[in-house]
Copies of this chain bind each other. A is one copy, B any other.
Amino acid sequence: MPTDKSKSKKRITSYDVAREAGVSQSAVSRAFRPGLSISRKTRDKVNKAAAKLGYKPNAIARMLITQRSGMVAVIISSIASFVYPELLTRLNEQLSAKGLRILLFTLDGAEELDEVLDRIWAFQVDGVIALAAHFEHASIAQFEEHDIPVVLYNRQVPDHPVNTVCCDHEQGIGQLVQSLVKAGHKTYLVMSGPEYSDVANERRIIALRQLKNLGFDDVPVIYGNYSYESGKECFSRWMSNNPAPDAVICSNDMMAIGCIDEARKVFGLQVPEQLSVVGFDGVYASDWGAYELTTVRQPVNQMAKAAVDILVDRIENPGTPPEKRVLAGEFRKGNSARV
């Protein structure tokens, strides 16, 4: 736990108590767990040692006292994304520092939502962080009815106030589009993520609106599924019936990387000399030497911290009104576009 390290005193563990009491760690563990048999003599020894050292048996005891489980459900969708691993790591760091643990749920499709919700209630989690999963108004209302605070990541629910942490897509995509137009690109292709992804839809709509505002109407759109492979496939599909555009605006970095590989290897195009490609996310691989993507990096650290801050505040202060935090991305001028 990062925060514990900075404190001067080491946290007392059951092992310290066991040494002090002259019993096994297992005995200490049993002494603080309800319903398990242990001799009165051992229990007394353990209690005495625990009091002396200031040992606080953690999760279970806290659960019984506070009626909290110490667990936060993190719901991820199964769409392959290079953003999730980093995000999950950051969320885990932030939640651990607050003494909370991640209980992982995967949502594969809308038809499973009821099942996932049932499981979440059953585990009595203290809160929920939903990454890119599609939640309707009704699901959010269910959480509210159960007094379980929810924070959505990069996702809003129309006409329903909800805690949410978003990357500023408008500003980030605006910067990408404006720099492409300013640099003189005349023909565009928007490579979108899947239509069932709210984030993909938002990014596509913003890109098209920004282009229109700058005089580029009716820019064509091609749809992929956010993966590297679909970036390759989309570019090939486009090229089978059309000339290469000046610039491809991809809804995420993975598709941009696939697009670049396909353009270079299959169509012999030089990137960025003959084709500009921009992405979005700023994933780990985006600045690798072979790609050096021009992209917008989501501020994953700050977004994870904001999500956990909002959630913990709502766990501790039920009834606080929902809040939306929008964090600016960082424009990265790489070497994949002539901007």
- Chain A positions within 8 Å of B, measured between CB atoms, are 1-2, 4, 11, 13-16, 24-26, 29, 33, 57-61, 70-71, 78, 82, 84-85, 88-89, 92-93, 96, 101-106, 108, 112, 114-115, 117-119, 121-124, 142, 145-146, 228, 232, 257, 261-262, 264-265, 284-285, 288-291
Pick 29 A–B contacts, CB within 8 A, sort by A.
A1-B112, A2-B108, A13-B118, A14-B114, A14-B121, A15-B114, A15-B117, A15-B118, A24-B145, A25-B145, A26-B146, A29-B121, A59-B119, A59-B122, A59-B123, A60-B124, A61-B122, A71-B123, A85-B88, A88-B88, A96-B106, A101-B103, A101-B119, A103-B103, A257-B288, A261-B288, A265-B289, A290-B290, A290-B291
B93 near A101 (CB under 8 angstroms)?
no
Chain B nearest Cβ from A11, distance in angstroms? 6
The 8 Å CB contact of A104, one of B11, B26, B92, B122, is: B92
- Closest approach, in angstroms, between the C-beta of A306 and any C-beta of chain B? 20
Q: In the complex, A297→B8 CA distance in Å?
A: 44
Is B122 a contact partner of A57 (Cβ separation < 8 A)?
yes
Q: Least Cβ distance of A18 to chain B in Å?
A: 10
**Number of copies of chain A assembled together:** 2
Q: A14-B121, A115-B11, A118-B58 are in contact. Are A103 and B105 (CB under 8 A)?
A: no
Task: Give the chain B neighbours of A16 by CB distance below 8 A.
Answer: 114
Closest to A15 in B: B114
Inside 8 A of A15's CB, which chain B residues have their CB?
Answer: 114, 117-118
Residues in B whose Cβ lies below 8 Å from that of A118: 13-15, 58
Q: Distance in Å from the Cβ of A267 to the closest Cβ of chain B?
A: 12
C-alpha spacing A296/B291, complex, angstroms: 24
In whole angstroms, how far apart are the Cα atoms of A124 and B114 in the complex?
26
- With contacts A1-B112, A13-B118, A14-B118 known, what are 14 further pairs, Cβ within 8 A? A1-B115, A2-B108, A4-B115, A11-B115, A14-B117, A60-B124, A78-B89, A88-B88, A92-B106, A102-B103, A102-B104, A103-B103, A261-B288, A261-B290
- Chain B residues near A119 (CB, 8 Å)? 58-59, 101
Q: Which residues of B contact A96 (CB under 8 A)?
A: 106
Cα-based distance from A31 to B290 in the complex (angstroms): 58
Top 7 closest pairs, chain A to chain B, by CB: A261-B289, A290-B290, A59-B122, A85-B85, A13-B114, A102-B104, A26-B145
Contact of A146 (CB < 8 Å), options: B29, B89, B103: B29
**Alpha-carbon gap, A234 to B1, bound state (A):** 30
Cα of A117 to Cα of B84 in the assembled complex, Å: 26
What residues of chain B lie closer than 8 Å to A24, measured between beta carbons? 145
